[in-house]
Structure 1
Amino acid sequence: MRLLIVDDGHYVVEYMKHLLDWNTFGIDQIETLTNSIEARDILTQSHIDILITDIRMPEVSGIDLLQHIHQHSLPTKVIILSGYSEFEYAQQGIRLGALDYLLKPVDKDDVEKAISKAIKTITKSRPAQPIEWEKFDGQGYLLSLLGQNETLRKEYDAHTKFLGKRRFCFVKLEDFAQEHEDGIKQAVGDKLDRLVWTAGTRLVGLVPEETAGELTIKLEQSVVSPPFLLTDRNVTRQIFYKFFLNEDVHSEDFIGIFTPSPSCGDWESAGNISKSYDRIRFRKQKTIFLMETILYVYLTDKNRDAPEIADWIFNGLRNPDELWSNLTDAVSRIRNNKQMSIQTIVDKVQTYIEEHLSHGLSLDELGKVAHLHPVYLSKLFKQETGENVSNYISRKRLDKASRLLQDSELRVADIAQMVGYKKNQYFIQLFKVEYGVTPYQYRRNMIHK
């Protein structure tokens, strides 16, 4: 699915681009533009599923883009960005067919709701698409059947409808040889060989019923589950859990375990994974929870190891508490990678501040440095450092001023200008609050030390 974000403010499009983990919504292509004329051309020339656009832009406005989409009968779903003062303008956009509008500065939860609404609308209206087998990921497909992520399930709807015309079985084979794996993959044929995995010392798979019957004859040590239809999600899950994990599950077992859901972008960052797992008492619920955690790692960790995930699904889940430590390590890696990215942004802003203390250093200026919306940058900075941006700037300015007072013979008024204070009296007032003495007294005290 393809998303286009248009705003004449560079930092706004960068903020929106990094606001969500778009892959979890099935959005794998993101375009950003600050030129609305180019945006109109792209809408005409390329298939864009969702457009997020500022409502007021020079030359071509968000309303103009909406009218363009309407006039050319384009299938693009539109979400408008507007300020409070543009409320009536936004309502005009809704009348022209915009799906939703978001007030600036946009809230992450509101964006998630709007995108979910757009995807739901697209899914309902979209005709059946040809199946792209070259992109078919067997592991992702299995998790779409077993997990709770509706976006992933919808991504594979066409595959399920196609495969649902025949019955399937799960199969497992202990202590297999390479010839056994080659034989099973050859039996199921191209495409479906992606539904056969090695998991530790076991060979496991999801194979058509007729193939499963052949395997029980050719490979006496193979074990095959009862047949089922992939279109029946509950039965598929029941047979998987019974066959591989010896657990009897029912549809109600999957309700209410996840608070918040692992699909939530901030799930791992607030320590919720530990709180959620620790409160689960029974093995079956632990297993279901850990399956969802595996799905989270699959969707979020771009460097995920496919054999390791297969081992977790088919082997690790048999011992939930042992698997727990491995999964927390994986989630911690994801969190740390995100944290490193955030820390890089904060470091960049701090370095810029320290090198430009004589500047005005407004949030707008710093937002452009970080390519983030100023309000979002302010929240991020406070979250990471425990200090407001304005407090940090003031502290660094006064720190530099104290050093200049010690190490130079510059006039106090010149030092005030060098650290960004245009009014000398205001600088003296702030300096006294911080150090308990005026700049003049401070310098005299340092000289007589």
Structure 2
Amino acid sequence: MPPRKQKRRKSMKLLIVDDQPGVTEGLCHGVNWAQLGFSQVQAVNSVREARAAMLNTVPDVMLCDIEMPEETGLELFKWVKKQGFATRCIFLTAHAKFSYAQEAMHLGAFDYIIQPAPYSEISQVTARAVKDVQASRDQKELTQMGRAFNEQAQAITAQAIRAFLSRQHNERDVKTLQGLGIFPRSDRNGYLVLIHILRWEPTADHWEKQLLAVALNNIAAETFAVHSELSPIASVDEHSYAMLLQNTAGEEMDLEGIMRQLMYISNVAQQYLRCSMAFYLDDKLPVPKMPDLWEKLLHMQGENVTLRSGVFRLKEAPRQPHIFRVPQIRTWNTLLKDGYPEAVKQEAMTLLDEMSARGEMNADSLRSFYQDFMQMIYFTVGGSEEKIHELFYQPEALELYRNGMKSVDEMKALIRYVTSSWTEHKSVDESKELLDKLKQYIDEHLESELRRDELAEYVHLNPDYLTRLMKKQTGYSLKEYVTRRKMETARTLLRTTTLPVGFIAAKLGYNNFSHFSYTYKKIMDVTPQEERHTEGK
């Protein structure tokens, strides 16, 4: 058997930094660096020279003295970290100060050697650093290979889907992909979904269609993986994408569940991709029959001339009225409409506890409870997708929506959120009046911490609802708006008064001066001191 071919290792670069030429000379010739894998060894005698050398060629390993004239090795390593260089730093010093070792390790140094040390020890420590660099390189290479494979697999699957739906596919190619587990199997039923990109928000970046397909694949994979659903997506044209859904293990989702998850994907796309979508589908069917359904879905897409967003089932199979599998839930929409969300919460919590106590709670019954509860919410808002979107706009709310059927505790968290957020939507004028009142209150109490719950209580609104209202009108969350008003006031004081910066910080409720300076720089792009200096010119 021929010997296994060894992987060729990429050569490495070493930088030696010490203010004593005799030390750098000795290190250059006292260790067999080539044997350790170094093809380039450079020695310098100051921090300034080290910086210049590293800007030209970033070393893999650096042997560095700590105490040097002008600047220390610790200061050099701080600069290295700030530049984002992945150099392993081994400090060499004749001073056995604990504070040096402590700071070196805190900065992330690879090791610390007390001089004088035999070259054999320096060689051993450096060999460990070389091994660490190589391990990082191998991991990065594996990650890149895995990413390349996934991207290639997605591209191949997408091409196969396009050919399959247009009846131009090669049966052998499809079977190969099915064997790899990346294309739906022909002997199982599945769902076919046409995803229609309707419009982009004015401020959105328009995604190139292949990149958008990758983004949609990632969102769908994360959404449906919980339910063991295979969900490859392929771009068909500039505005259309095909998604094939098939269960790979366990009990498959019903049409109701699929439609709810598509609504979740729609909300994610609206929030993060800044585009609106329509989804067209029908009930599950054998995979070989999907090309026939695809033609009907394309026709349905063409009929959507008003570009209405949402999740739509094929017209030939009108949606049946929802049958509540947990009958008690059916009456809760009346309680919500009449303004009794707390009663709904209490009844829902009690029902969950009773079902658990009777041994009736399992994955199926929890799924039924979740679907009935969400259907009840949908009925209560009159089928308004805008109101559903507003209710689950925040990332935390989307997570609650998505995880509701995972456990009883997650379902209870979803119930608490929905019932606590259930506030009758105010008219535009009422909302503006409330926010104007709140803004005035904020301006009059900038010296206070101004917690979210306190502000919500002042205008008698649910905190989550108030945050959404503020975000909708100002573009900022409640916390962001308060912080911005404080920084705008600070800027005015810095420009128009001679008050000490520390006094201004305290006046605006910041007891920690560093936190105030950091926040000011983050929002205004300059430090408070720079603001005052600039204004004084």
Larger Rg: 2
Between 1 and 2, higher relative CO (CA 8 Å, sep ≥ 6) is seen in 1
Please indicate, yes or no, whether the TM-score normalized by the shorter chain is above 0.5: no
Q: TM-score scaled by structure 1? A: 0.30
